[in-house]
Amino acid sequence: MPLTVQLKTPLTGEYTQPTGLFINNEWVEGVDKKTFEVVNPTTEEVICSVSEATEKDVDIAVAAARKAFTGPWRHTITPLERGHILTKFADLLQANSELLSAVESLDNGKSINMARGDVQSVINCIRYYGGWADKVEGKTIPINHETFHYTRHEPVGVCGQIIPWNFPLLMLAWKIGPALATGNTVVLKTAEQTPLSALVLAKFIKDAGFPPGVLNIISGFGKVAGAAISSHMDIDKVAFTGSTAVGRTIMKAAASSNLKKVTLELGGKSPNIVFNDADIEAAISWVNFGIYYNHGQCCCAGSRVYVQEGIYDKFVEAFKKRAQENKVGDPFDEQTFQGPQVSQLQYDRIMGYIEEGKKEGATIAVGGERHGNKGYFIQPTIFTNVTSKMKIMQEEIFGPVVAVAKFKTEEDVIQMGNDSAYGLAAAVHTSNITTAIRVSNDLRAGTVWVNSYNMLSHALPFGGFGESGIGRELGEEALYNYTETKSVSIRLAGPIY
């Protein structure tokens, strides 16, 4: 099979789409020569086919990554040079940012403006970690006069990384940035729904100066290539973003293989709390953005909205109007805010939750139906009259569906906000700084936004309490998930035992 195909996007015209596996700085077919089809969620038509990695290809990629880890990447290239390679990679991505954004919209269905935002965040993240490469320092630790003690933060080794389809490029950047900055090598598997943008990005790996085997990118299915990564005996660490159910499977596989290190960024059911004294117009915009950004396909989506009773009716009326103003449609239309859901399966899951909400007695205030008659589009949907035990209040829907509930006191809303197995994110809208700080302190969530939502930064740690995951991505903290600390003690004097 040829390892490229000529495709078109409305933004860039014709471009060359790689379709192979990127292993050891080369494009290859899978050993079994398997392929799978990639579907455009806007048209429901097949875009192209790409190579599918099986266990055998994972083995080959891991062997390449192992060889790279024990070669120049570890022993010749300095941390400063590693940083330069990462920043050069960021420069190449910057020069091709319109193409990357267009391919992201084509494959994932996200609006072109959101895709552009993602790609800029990808570039910022890779640059940021390029800057860290020569700043991962140990300590000297004074214990006694007879021994000199110091610590080193050494790379963990070969890292397997498994990413989801909701932010195909951004999740890749969050994973490879800290892993490569700290000197690890990587075998990354993209989600089977959205392999295309990462393959375009892979075109620039060699030119950036990464030695062969340092960064390998493969397309494939979770149960085949994903499972092969999480149970591999020669992978030292697995990093995963996706559903809590798959996170558990990966952790079990890691435990029953070689006890590889595990970091997990999983689901959420995040509370978005609006107090009587909030700037109501601004709060409505943030609540709208909190849930409908990326079509609700966001692990930190503000899917449970709690509004204090004094403004509840006014808020719901204005929010209904705001949600109906979101432009749903063609991702390549510059005015579009919400494109299609990523796949038929996701569309069906979300519609299933909407039906469940109706059955459980919640009221549909807005939406609840398919949008248009082609593509996986769903109307922005608001449920009211909800109770905390309803499925739509407990389970992650991962779509443009929000539930709005009323609360009386601060104490009540903290209890309601924390009534979830998840703990990824939360937000508080108030004009009272002490309310903001008290409530932020009491919410069980890895990120709390005050008077905003979804304001992520490459420099701020991100991750979850409870069933939302293990470990943190981004910021300085992510570096320590990609290093092993070694303590070295050098005897200078004293007794010999």
SS3 at position 37: strand
Note whether 192 binds ligand ADP by CB under 6 A: yes
List 104, 192, 265, 410, catalytic entry: 265
Q: Name the one residue in this structure whose structure tokens are 């075109």.
A: 203
List 299, 410, 467, 473, catalytic entry: 299
**How far apart (Å, rounded) are the C-alpha atoms in residues 52 and 54?**
6
Note whether 222 binds ligand ADP by CB under 6 A: yes
Q: Name the one residue in this structure whose structure tokens are 């390679």.
A: 85
Q: Catalytic residue at 265? A: yes
CA triple 22-28-30, angle to 5 deg: 100
Helices 410-417 and 433-442, interaxial angle, to 10°?
Answer: 30
Note whether 243 binds ligand ADP by CB under 6 A: yes
Q: Which neighbouring-strand residues pair with 16?
A: 6
Strands 271-274 and 304-308: parallel
Of 21, 103, 191, 402, the residue at the interface with ligand ADP (CB under 6 A) is: 191
Q: Dihedral, CA atoms, 339, 343, 345, 350, nearest 10 degrees?
A: -10
**How far apart (Å, rounded) are the C-alpha atoms in residues 177 and 468?**
21
CA triple 372-98-80, angle to 5 deg: 135
Q: What is the DSSP letter of 204?
A: T
Least distance between ligand ADP and beta carbon 231 (Å): 8
SS3 at position 145: coil
Q: Which range of residues in 142-150, 240-248, 325-333, 368-376 is near ligand ADP by CB under 6 A?
A: 240-248
**How far apart (Å, rounded) are the C-alpha atoms in residues 439 and 452?**
15
SS3 at position 275: coil
Q: Which range of residues in 39-47, 216-224, 280-288, 448-456 is near ligand ADP by CB under 6 A?
A: 216-224
Q: Which is nearer to ligand ADP, 83 or 469 (CB)?
A: 469
Of 64, 199, 250, 405, the residue at the interface with ligand ADP (CB under 6 A) is: 250
Note whether 223 binds ligand ADP by CB under 6 A: yes
Note whether 226 binds ligand ADP by CB under 6 A: yes
Q: Which range of residues in 40-48, 149-157, 188-196, 389-397 is near ligand ADP by CB under 6 A?
A: 188-196
Least distance between ligand ADP and beta carbon 11 (Å): 26
Residue number closest to ligand ADP, CB atom = 222
Of 227, 284, 287, 311, the residue at the interface with ligand ADP (CB under 6 A) is: 227
Q: Which is nearer to ligand ADP, 223 or 491 (CB)?
A: 223
Q: Which range of residues in 239-247, 358-366, 375-383, 384-392 is near ligand ADP by CB under 6 A?
A: 239-247
Q: With contacts defined by CB under 6 A, how many residues of the chain interact with ligand ADP?
A: 17
Contacts of residue 67, Cβ cutoff 8 Å, sequence gap at least 6: 213
Q: Catalytic residue at 299? A: yes
Note whether 252 binds ligand ADP by CB under 6 A: no
Least distance between ligand ADP and beta carbon 246 (Å): 4
Kindly write out the interface string for residues 147-166 of this chain, putting x where it contacts ligand ADP by CB under 6 A and - elsewhere.
---------------xxx--
Q: Which is nearer to ligand ADP, 172 or 428 (CB)?
A: 172
Give 72-76's long-range contacts (Cβ < 8 A, gap of 24+). Answer: 72/211, 73/183, 73/185, 73/211, 73/214, 74/155, 74/183
Nearest to 4 by CA among 50, 45, 57: 50
Of 24, 51, 194, 230, the residue at the interface with ligand ADP (CB under 6 A) is: 230
β strands within 221-274, DSSP E: 237-241, 261-265, 271-274
Q: Which is nearer to ligand ADP, 227 or 323 (CB)?
A: 227
Residues that bind ligand ADP in the complex, under the rule CB under 6 A: 162-164, 189, 191-192, 221-223, 226-227, 230, 242-243, 246, 249-250
Active site residues: 265, 299
